[in-house]
Amino acid sequence: MANVLVVAEFADGKVKKTTHSAVTFARTAAAALGGSYSILVLGSSAGMAVDELAKLGAAKVLVAEDASLGNYLAETYAPTVAEVAKDYAVVVAAASGFGKDLLPRVAGALAAGYAADITEVLSSGGTLQYKRPMFAGNAFGICVIDSAVQVVTVRQSAFAPAEPTGAVSPSEKVGIAPSGKAAGRVEWVKYEQVKNERPELAEAKVVVAGGRALKEQFYELLDPLADALGAAIGASRAACDNGYCAPDLQVGQTGKVVAPGLYFAIGISGAIQHLAGMKSSKVIVSVNKDGDAPIFQISDYGLVGDLFKVVPELTEKLRAIKAG
């Protein structure tokens, strides 16, 4: 059976938007294989996700609901995902913190090949080919997977979220596969969420990102600008490492990858690993006091100047535009 299995990301009673990007991948892949796609959701209250997932055009929504799946841990989720995945040609999740933790473990359980963070799926003679960034986005590799089940994660910014189809998929319960010894040797202790009222970084239409140059004034300067634009806030690695902002704001090769309509790089010089996380943005604006900063080479609009003056002025004028 050449069908595709999407592993939904479901946390705190909500289906994460990352799931919709994985569904978009599944639609293309299933069409190329001449098969269908189903969605698997796991959790202690996974049933809550069914209504929303059933709108996404899947052949089936599979529900693994069990008290043992309360807080996500790869060790407890992977056995059930692997068991269900045995009947599928491809298993996919988004390359989020969830997908990148879980799917390689699933691949291990299936002795399957794993292609990470893919940006495009192609088909050649009925075989799927996966395009994925390497070397901080300075090369793309097109690969095939030689195993009975193929395991992939998809880059969220490269697959637009799937829209509801208007139909309602049937749902069915699936059993929980027995966990290995590993599950008994890991304990979920606590989750400290960073307070964030802004749009999700990976999903925002506008991103305002700051670098080391902002120093302790990171939020003081960027919060009002982001408010004026309705933007998410991102950061360079240097800003995160220096503790000027929360680490989960990091945009780059090893942080979040974003591709918004408009990206502001404020006081960011443009290290290779940062560019890897944002250079697919539609319009890039950079503000930097160094006119030779590498960021200008990939920016649509560059403004050489003192960000401590430019940012407040920009914020004020954007507010005025918004106020009409």
Partner 1 sequence: MKILVALKRVADPDNANKVKIPADGSKVDTAGLEWKPNPFDDYALETALRLTEDGKSNKVRKGEVVVVSFGPKEVETTLRSALATGADRAIRVECTDEQLDGFLVARALAKLVETEKPDVVMLGKQAVDGDSNQVGQILAELLDWPQAAFAATLREESAGLLVGREVDGGVLEIRVSFPAVVTVDLRIVAPRSVYSTATDAAFKYNDGVRFAPLPAIMQARKKPLDTKSLAELTTEKPRIRYVRYEAPPARKAGTKVVDVDALLDKLKNEAKAL
Binding mask 137-176 for partner 1 (x = CB under 8 A): xxxxxxxxxxx-----------------------------
Q: What per-residue string of b and e applies to 198-233 under the rule 16 or more CB within 10 Å gives b?
A: ebebbbbebbbbbbbbbeeebeebbebbbbbbebbb
Q: What is the smallest separation between the CB atom of 78 and partner 1, expressed in angstroms?
A: 6
Q: What is the smallest separation between the CB atom of 88 and partner 1, expressed in angstroms?
A: 16
Query: Using an 8 Å Cβ cutoff, are 158 and 116 in contact?
Result: no
Please return the burial class of 74, using the count of CB atoms within 10 Å of its CB with bins 0-12, 13-18 and 19+.
middle
The stretch among 52-60, 164-172, 216-224, 272-280 that binds partner 1 (CB under 8 A) is 272-280
Relative to beta strand 120-124, strand 127-134 is: antiparallel
Q: What angle in degrees, to the nearest 10, is found between the helix axes of 218-229 and 307-323?
A: 20
Q: What is the smallest separation between the CB atom of 87 and partner 1, expressed in angstroms?
A: 19
Q: How far is Cα 160 from Cα 220, in angstroms, rounded to an integer?
A: 32
Q: What is the smallest separation between the CB atom of 89 and partner 1, expressed in angstroms?
A: 14
Q: How far is Cα 322 from Cα 113, in angstroms, rounded to an integer?
A: 50
Binding to partner 1 (CB under 8 A): which residues in 193-232?
A: 193-194, 196
Q: What is the smallest separation between the CB atom of 26 and partner 1, expressed in angstroms?
A: 20
Q: What is the smallest separation between the CB atom of 198 and partner 1, expressed in angstroms?
A: 11
Q: How far is Cα 318 from Cα 321, in angstroms, rounded to an integer?
A: 5
Q: What is the smallest separation between the CB atom of 168 and partner 1, expressed in angstroms?
A: 29
Query: For residues 111 and 166, which CB has a smaller minimum distance to partner 1 in the complex?
Result: 111
Q: What is the smallest separation between the CB atom of 73 and partner 1, expressed in angstroms?
A: 7
Query: For residues 138 and 165, which CB has a smaller minimum distance to partner 1 in the complex?
Result: 138
The stretch among 58-66, 170-178, 214-222, 278-286 that binds partner 1 (CB under 8 A) is 278-286
Q: Which two tokens stand for residue 5?
A: 């299995």
Q: How far is Cα 90 from Cα 189, in angstroms, rounded to an integer?
A: 33
Q: 115, 128, 158, 258: which one contacts partner 1 (CB under 8 A)?
A: 115
Query: For residues 204 and 314, which CB has a smaller minimum distance to partner 1 in the complex?
Result: 314
The stretch among 45-53, 165-173, 214-222, 253-261 that binds partner 1 (CB under 8 A) is 253-261
C-alpha pair distances (Å), 314 with each of 78, 213, 297: 48, 17, 22
Q: 109, 221, 251, 265: which one contacts partner 1 (CB under 8 A)?
A: 109
Please return the burial class of 145, using the count of CB atoms within 10 Å of its CB with bins 0-12, 13-18 and 19+.
buried
Q: 123, 188, 220, 290: which one contacts partner 1 (CB under 8 A)?
A: 188
Residue 304 binds to partner 1 (criterion: CB under 8 A): yes
Residue 323 binds to partner 1 (criterion: CB under 8 A): no
Query: For residues 46 and 106, which CB has a smaller minimum distance to partner 1 in the complex?
Result: 106
Residue 98 binds to partner 1 (criterion: CB under 8 A): yes
C-alpha pair distances (Å), 194 with each of 82, 147, 224, 237, 238: 32, 39, 19, 17, 19
